[in-house]
Amino acid sequence: MSCPLALVRVGSYPAYTMQRPWYKKRKCKMSKQIPPAPHALRVAELKQNSATGFTIRPDTKALHALGDDLGLLALRKLSFNGEVMAQGASDWVLSGKLGATVVQPCGVTLEPVTTRIDVPVRRTYLNDLDDAQDVEIEMPDDDSVESLGAWIDPEAVMIEALVLALPLYPRSEGAALGESVHAEPGVTPMRDEDARPFAGLAALRNKMSDPEEDAS
């Protein structure tokens, strides 16, 4: 296919150069619309007057990969269902429900601990959030509020919500965390009992009620 020539001026002399073919221009324009993730939603294509629903259920391979990344012994029945709706003229809200069964090692015995997770998820995407931060407007301390970009990715929200919902200290039934006591030689170690509220007042009260100790 021959490309048309366009006359342009280089310095004070006219010269010929090749224009970019139309199909290459179209290819560059289309590449900007490729979603960053399989379930990502392009904000410009969302319906303003109705909700856009989504359902994410990763397959077995994806569950194994995600479970390994999160340090889980097993990850099963992961699902994320919800919708994205417009809020006002330029903001959007993602709401859904996250469900998953996770298996983690016990923090004491390392035995498998199974936990079922079912939590609601909500994210608010504000179009002018960056502008508000630039002018130093006090914003509420809310992790569910984010700046609106060109895409909304429910899968990324699902992974983030799963991480936040994982038990930090999984314990198997009957497991108890023992008390470890450390101190330098000649120094009385402080135990958990000593660190409890009013422990110092209780020790002072016992000392004052023991006349033999005061006499000595």
pLDDT recorded at residue 196: 47
The model's confidence at residue 58, banded by pLDDT at 50, 70 and 90, is very high
Q: What is the mean pLDDT of residues 190-214?
A: 52
CA 35/CA 47 separation, integer angstroms:
17
The SS3 assignment for 57 reads coil
What pLDDT score does 4 carry?
54
> For residue 117, which of 99, 103, 105, 104 has the smallest C-alpha distance?
99
Position 195 pLDDT exceeds 50 = no
Residue 103 has pLDDT above 50, yes or no: yes
In the block, which residue shows the tokens 């470890």? Answer: 180
Domain extent listing, the chain: 35-165
DSSP state of 196: S
Residue for token pair 């006591």 = 181
Can you give the pLDDT at residue 128? 86
Q: Which residue has the higher pLDDT, 185 or 73?
A: 73
Q: Is the pLDDT of residue 35 over 70?
A: yes
pLDDT in tens, 121-143: 999 999 987 655 544 545 455 67
Q: What is the overall mean pLDDT for the chain?
A: 77
Cα(103)–Cα(99) distance, integer angstroms: 14
Report whether pLDDT(32) > 80: no
More confidently predicted of 177 and 153: 153
Decide: pTM greater than 0.75. Answer: no
> Closest Cα partner for 157 from 83, 85, 102, 103?
83
Percent of the chain with pLDDT over 70: 60
Tens-place pLDDT, residues 61-94: 999 999 999 999 999 999 999 999 999 999 999 9
Rounded average pLDDT over 41-63: 96
With a cut of 80, say whether residue 208 has pLDDT above it. no
C-alpha span between 37 and 207 (Å, rounded): 67
Tokens read off for 80:
């994320």
Task: Of 155, 164, 157, give the one whose Cα is nearest residue 62.
Answer: 155
